[in-house]
Amino acid sequence: MFKNILAPVTSSKSCEQAADVAITFARRFESNLVLLNVQGFEHKWGEAELLDRPEELQKIETDMARHFAGRLAGVPGHKIVVAQGVPHVEILRMAREMEADLILMCPYRRELPQMKDLLWTRVGHTLERVIQNAHHPVMLVTHPVSSDGQIFRHVLAATGLSGKDSFCVEYAAQLARKCGAKLTVFSVLDADAGAANLPQEEIGRIAGERMTRMNVEYGDMVKDVKDVEYVCYEGQTAVEILKLARLRGVDVIVMAHHTREADLDCAFERSTVVHVAFRALCPVVSINRKFQMPGG
C-alpha cells in the first residue's frame, strides 16, 4: 500500500511516535523507509544555521542508527539520512528524490497556537510549509497504530465540497479499497460561517442537499468501495470531525489542506488539519493535490 515512506525525525520524544508508526507501516507493507534528520533551522530572514564541521553529520547518523537499531530489525529497505539545510526544503527535496508516497510526521505538542516563542515559530513553520507544498500525502500521528490485523478498518474523508476536497475523497477511497475498509464522507455546515443562525428546518434541508451533492460528485470515485456513507452535520468543523471520528471508531482521517494566509503564523493557527491532528486519536492525512497510490 505504501511503497516509499519518508519520516522526518528529531531527537524530540514527540518524533519517536512518528518513527514508530513509520517503522510499523514499513514492516507491515514491506516499504522502503527513510528516517530523515535535518540539521539547521530557518530564521525569519531566510538564513539557515548549519553545523560547522561536516564530520558531525556522520556522528549524528551513527547515533541515530544505534538508537533505532532494535526497532528497524525486520525492515530491510530502510535508510537513515542526515542532511543540512532548511528543514522543510530538505524534507520536500527528499520526498521528491525518493518518490515518496507518504510523508509521516508528528505535530509537536509545543506547536499549539497559544505558544508564540521562536521555537514554536520554527517548528510550526516547518510542518505548515510541508503540508502546504508537498505533492505527497502527509500523515500526522500522535498515537500508536496497531501492528496486528487490519490497520485501517474505517476511513473518514472530510470535505467542504471545494476543488481540493475531491483529491481528499479520491485518496480516502483508495485507502478504503486497499484495506477493505468502510468509508465515511463527511461535510460540516460551519457554525462560524453563519450556519448557527439558521432555523433547524433550514439546516436539515441544506444538509440533505449537501449529502445528495456528495453522492453525485463523489459517486464515481467511491464506486468500488463496499461500504460508503455520506454524513453532514452543523457545527464547528474541527470539533465535528473529531466527534464523528471518535463516535464511529475511525482509524484514519483524510483532509484537504486549505489556506489563503500568506503569514505562516496565521496559516498554522487557523489550519483545521493541524487542529484536528493535535487532538485526533488516529492518524490524520493532509493532501492538497491529486495522488495515485502505488498499484492503482
179-228 pLDDT, tens digit per residue, is 999 999 999 988 666 676 778 888 889 999 999 999 999 999 999 999 99
Order of strands across the sheet that contains 78-84: 78-84, 32-39, 4-8, 102-105, 138-140, 284-287, 252-256, 154-158, 182-190, 228-235
- Predicted local distance difference test score (pLDDT) of residue 261: 47
Under a CB-based contact definition with an 8 Å cutoff, are residues 103 and 132 in contact?
A: no
Amino acid letter, residue 257: H
Averaged pLDDT score across all residues of the chain = 84
Are 264 and 124 in contact by the 8 Å Cβ rule? The answer is yes
Question: What does the pLDDT read at residue 63?
Answer: 93
Cα-Cα-Cα-Cα torsion 207, 212, 213, 215, nearest 10 degrees, comes to: 130
CA 247 to chain centre: 21
Phi, psi dihedrals of residue 11, rounded to the nearest 5°: -80, 0
Q: What is the mean pLDDT of residues 113-122?
A: 41
Distance CA 201, CA 203 (A): 5
Grid cell for residue 168: 481528499
What pLDDT score was predicted for residue 264?
A: 46
Burial of residue 216 (CB within 10 Å: 0-12, 13-18, 19+) is exposed
Q: Mention every residue, 6+ apart, whose C-beta is less than 8 A from residue 34.
A: 4, 5, 6, 7, 78, 79, 80, 81, 94, 98, 100
Ordered structural domains, the chain, with CATH:
4-140 (3.40.50.620), 154-250 (3.40.50.620)
pLDDT at 201: 86
102-111, 158-167, 254-263, range with the lowest pLDDT: 254-263
Q: Which amino acid is at 84?
A: Q
Q: Any bridge partners for residue 156, and if so which?
A: 184, 253
Out of 35-44, 256-265, 279-288, least confident range: 256-265
Q: What is the pLDDT of residues 10-64, one digit of tens each?
A: 877 778 888 999 999 999 899 999 999 998 754 444 455 555 567 888 899 999 9
The dihedral over CA atoms of 11, 72, 180, 173, expressed in degrees to the nearest 10, equals 40
Between CA 25 and CA 280 the distance in angstroms is: 19
Flag the least confident range among 55-59, 107-111, 120-124. 120-124
Residue % of the chain over a pLDDT of 90: 55
Helix (H) or strand (E) holding 182: strand 182-190
Stretch 65-76: mean pLDDT, rounded? 91
C-alpha cell at 278: 493535535
